[in-house]
Structure 1
Amino acid sequence: MGFGDCFLLSFGYDDASARHILIDFGSTGMPDDTKVSLDAVAADIALQCGGALDIVVATHRHKDHISGFATGADGKGSGDVIRGLKPKRVIQPWTEAPDAPKGWKGPDGTKRANAFAAYQSSLENMHAVAQAVVDRLDRKDGFDPRWRLADRLRFVGEDNIKNLSAVKNLMTMAGAAKNNIFVYHGCVLDLSAILPNVTVHVLGPPTLQQSASIKTYAKSSDDYWLKARLLAALAATDNVSANKTSMLFPDLKSTDTFRKTKLPTEMRWVAERVDIAEQDQMLGIVTALDNVMNNTSVILLFEAGTKKLLFPGDAQLENWSYALQSDMADLLNDVDLYKVGHHGSLNATPKSMWKRFKKRGKTSTPERLKTVMSTMAGKHGGKNGAPTEVPRIPLVNELKADSTLFNTQDLKPTQLCQTITINLQ
């Protein structure tokens, strides 16, 4: 998927039947040399699951996780293909449920999961800000393309736009509304009628009543994949407030005759610095939104036979912190497969969680931990040499040293996927 996620999880049974779960399907950019497309991936999913999909999980609404669910005007889009597989259930975070009362903070733990309504107004505001940033980049007097900051702005901004077609498709592809399940930490998720002999634990996201921390983002933490001196450097930098949503010159329209190119030569450096300042301000805003959205990610732990498979979407530290302090934390100790969070970012695989994995170790470790990472280097993070590149190199080195790592960057340009087989006995 380039920079994106798409995992087809299949459970085989003694009678030769199988159950298929699609966890996310999206991308914000494929490698330049790839021969793969969303349509090709959708067709392969249909082939692999024999034309019938049992469950769809959309961990959160970022484009790199749901854009493949978008339908086409001709009814032949990748999302149309997935819809045609007639999934029996669609699982999403509690923040995605429709008809939320304004200001709602989520379920209180006494209601059924499929009756939840989400606090949508804040999400709508986030999407509006992201759209405003992309619109600013699309203006005729857009930022100088020589500044790579503009590329990163577009990437993060577009990732946070609502993806309306995909959102609507997810809401209706399972048929009756009761088949859409909105989950939160600790809720009961009984899928036994569809997925026999498999227990599914929901570790995240917490509701705002359980933990308000998912609304925030820690710039530095001992749980991040950073050395002490880099932690100190990040902590010392200024934060950009997500409340500062106005542009530097809100009344300046693209049709105005004033342009930086019309300035006297000796004054053009001022216009360039103003542009750079505006980009920095907008990048701080959309990055803050991006981090908050990641913390709405569904974290699912599948337990089948003697094996445990962990899929956390893009959950970051604030989402993980609640699970790691709960009575469900011990479930993580003997995980057999871990989907690396947020494409290998510095703050989505907390060190305290990684240390819990007892099956990590050198190549000779019995039943060694398997890790799967969908990512594309150079697409996100690492601005001005900051230690925020995705995937984070120290984390990748640790994954290689202490687990069997399956990395999509190792795929050939014509390869659609990697296949990992796990014996559940």
Structure 2
Amino acid sequence: MTAPKSIRIRMYQVGFGDCFLLSFDYAPKPSRHVLIDCGSMASPKGSAPGLIKRVAASIAGTVGDEPFAVVATHRHTDHVSGFDPGANGKGAGAIIAALKPKFVVQPWTEDPSLPVDAEAPAARRGMALRRKTLDDLNVVASQIVDQYVPRLRRSQAVRGIAGQLDFIGKDNIKNLRAVENLMTMAPNDYVHAGRATRLTRFLPGVRVHVLGPPTIGQYGKVRGQRARDEEQFWHLQARSLGMGARVGLTRSDSLFKGFPSAPGRHAPVSSRWLINAMKSENAEQLLQLVRILDDAMNNTSLILLFECGDRRLLFPGDAQIENWEYALKTPSLRKHLEKISVYKVGHHGSLNATPKSLWKIWFPEGGGQQGAGRRMVSLLSTLEGKHGKRENDSEVPRRKLVDALKSKTTMKSTESIGEAEYHDEVIAID
């Protein structure tokens, strides 16, 4: 089979989430399709219930009985909730599974056969409890959402923080039905930076490069997440994240046993300022905790590059700086990041998911686009007002990045399309 004549990219309106269908035209033979993520954390305002199921039905109508494969870049809810078959077995995930994908591509960290301390596939020793830590943090996020958010919402002083806690916390709660469906709907291809993927054999004439995530053995810095990097992040000044939240206290616990106490509104007026300050500090610490989990999960995100002829399509999921750094510092991987034709904007346009060092490869200072000839297309799947805030330069999408994308690329955003619709980008292969 020869190379495809064109690649059609459909970017679906799922609100705050990602859902992309790549269709490779091999006419007169059947097209081949690759679904990259299917999930949402928040639908556009005014959307009717069942948005993600309608999107799945649209995908099924396009794929039909043609060859099909699935990619789940990482297990955040806004990327995998569409793979949930539903309690009744009739949800979006059941529709996708019925298309009988040939295989499912996931990051190496999702391989259930790995020991919990694995540094890499087949490793016997390594980073202590890496995978178990992610699972335990999922439990923490669930506890925060279930126990703390309702309590904080009752306080006017921290109601805004409670909303962010609820959103980010739910994004990090393990969607068990979706995860199990991804593991069982087809054979799994667990990959890491530099490893070959079944996608290359599935797509004749297309080379698919896995640029991330690295294993712990390849790049130890992926263990952590830095909150501030003015040379790489799209901000003016960002606030460092700390850790110090205490979770697990029950309402009956007392910090000062034997001393007089007064609950809530019955506290003396003179002490209420202190109570509000402590509530605010507690809420901020809980928010920092769920952000740490959010960052940890993003460092497991796949970074895939599809190369066909002189066209290069880059899909990085939610990868952020520690994940990107390995590819940027490894010459054999870095070379694939040059002359990009289509860029799926990382992490819905957040400040730390499109490193400035990557941007400078494409747009050197004082010059035009590297390898100019065709203007880069950028695809942004996002929903404003759901993640971060402008006061500390963490809003998603980051305005400074969006302005640069509009200036240097042909930017297409889900915010400009209606419910359950999609942007349709056709890439001709010369």
Instruction: Report the CA distance shift for 1:225/1:238 in structure 2 as closer, same or farther (over 3 A).
Output: closer
1:14 aligned to which of 16, 27, 30: 27
Residue 353 of structure 2 aligns to a residue in which SS? Answer: coil
1:98 aligned to which of 104, 108, 112: 112
Residue 355 of structure 1 aligns to a residue in which SS? Answer: helix
Please name the residue that 1:250 is paired with.
249
Please name the residue that 2:313 is paired with.
309
Residue 415 of structure 2 aligns to a residue in which SS? Answer: helix
Q: Which moved more, 1:318-327 or 1:118-127?
A: 118-127
Alpha-carbon displacement from aligned partner over 1:337-365 (angstroms, at most 9, x marks no partner): 01000000111111111121269958xx6
Please name the residue that 2:4 is paired with.
none
Instruction: Report the CA distance shift for 1:258/1:198 in structure 2 as closer, same or farther (over 3 A).
Output: farther
Paired letter, 1:68:
G
Please name the residue that 1:269 is paired with.
273
TM-score, length of structure 1 as denominator length: 0.88
Residue 164 of structure 1: CA displacement? 0.6
Residue 423 of structure 2 aligns to a residue in which SS? Answer: coil
Residue 208 of structure 2 aligns to a residue in which SS? Answer: strand
TM-score, length of structure 2 as denominator length: 0.87
Residue 136 of structure 1: CA displacement? 2.1
Please name the residue that 1:295 is paired with.
299
Please name the residue that 1:213 is paired with.
221
Alpha-carbon displacement from aligned partner over 1:305-334 (angstroms, at most 9, x marks no partner): 321111000000100000001121011111
Is 1:27–1:67's contact at 8 Å kept on the other side of the alignment?
A: yes
Question: Partners in 2 of 1:325 and 1:98 — Cα distance?
Answer: 29
Is 1:388 aligned to 2:394, yes or no?
yes
Is 1:300–1:312's contact at 8 Å kept on the other side of the alignment?
A: yes
Alpha-carbon displacement from aligned partner over 1:251-288 (angstroms, at most 9, x marks no partner): 4249xx96312323333333222211110110111111
Superposed, 1:83-94 pairs within 5 Å as 83-94=97-108
Instruction: Report the CA distance shift for 1:136/1:348 in structure 2 as closer, same or farther (over 3 A).
Output: same
5+ residue gaps in structure 2?
1-13, 124-128, 254-260
What is the count of residue pairs matched by the alignment?
Answer: 398
Instruction: Report the CA distance shift for 1:198/1:102 in structure 2 as closer, same or farther (over 3 A).
Output: same
Residue 73 of structure 1 aligns to a residue in which SS? Answer: coil
Is 1:62–1:159's contact at 8 Å kept on the other side of the alignment?
A: yes
Question: Partners in 2 of 1:308 and 1:270 — Cα distance?
Answer: 56
Question: Quick one: percent identity of the two aligned structures?
Answer: 42
Paired letter, 1:407:
S
Instruction: Report the CA distance shift for 1:71/1:190 in structure 2 as closer, same or farther (over 3 A).
Output: closer
Please name the residue that 1:399 is paired with.
405
Instruction: Report the CA distance shift for 1:145/1:123 in structure 2 as closer, same or farther (over 3 A).
Output: same
Q: Which moved more, 1:36-45 or 1:317-326?
A: 36-45
Paired letter, 1:216:
G
Instruction: Report the CA distance shift for 1:205/1:162 in structure 2 as closer, same or farther (over 3 A).
Output: same
Question: Partners in 2 of 1:331 and 1:398 — Cα distance?
Answer: 22
Please name the residue that 1:137 is paired with.
148
Please name the residue that 1:423 is paired with.
428
Please name the residue that 1:156 is paired with.
168
5+ residue gaps in structure 1?
110-117
Instruction: Report the CA distance shift for 1:192/1:311 in structure 2 as closer, same or farther (over 3 A).
Output: closer
Residue 351 of structure 2 aligns to a residue in which SS? Answer: coil
Superposed, 1:55-66 pairs within 5 Å as 55-66=69-80
Instruction: Report the CA distance shift for 1:187/1:238 in structure 2 as closer, same or farther (over 3 A).
Output: closer
Please name the residue that 1:115 is paired with.
none
Residue 138 of structure 1: CA displacement? 5.1
Runs of 4+ in 1 over 4 A off after TM superposition: 138-143, 358-362
Is 1:105–1:208's contact at 8 Å kept on the other side of the alignment?
A: yes
Question: Partners in 1 of 2:415 and 2:285 — Cα distance?
Answer: 32
Greater relative contact order, per chain length (Cα 8 Å cut-off, separation 6+): 2
Is 1:333–1:358's contact at 8 Å kept on the other side of the alignment?
A: no
Paired letter, 1:124:
D
Alpha-carbon displacement from aligned partner over 1:373-425 (angstroms, at most 9, x marks no partner): 10011111116x1111111111111111111111111113x452111111011
Is 1:375 aligned to 2:382, yes or no?
yes
Residue 140 of structure 1: CA displacement? 5.7
Alpha-carbon displacement from aligned partner over 1:281-309 (angstroms, at most 9, x marks no partner): 10111111111110100000011232111
Residue 53 of structure 1: CA displacement? 5.5
Paired letter, 1:201:
H
Instruction: Report the CA distance shift for 1:378/1:192 in structure 2 as closer, same or farther (over 3 A).
Output: closer
Instruction: Report the CA distance shift for 1:423/1:238 in structure 2 as closer, same or farther (over 3 A).
Output: closer
Paired letter, 1:240:
G
Residue 379 of structure 2 aligns to a residue in which SS? Answer: strand
Is 1:200–1:303's contact at 8 Å kept on the other side of the alignment?
A: yes
Question: Partners in 2 of 1:205 and 1:394 — Cα distance?
Answer: 26
Please name the residue that 1:114 is paired with.
none
Instruction: Report the CA distance shift for 1:312/1:79 in structure 2 as closer, same or farther (over 3 A).
Output: same
Question: Partners in 1 of 2:240 and 2:348 — Cα distance?
Answer: 26
Paired letter, 1:215:
R
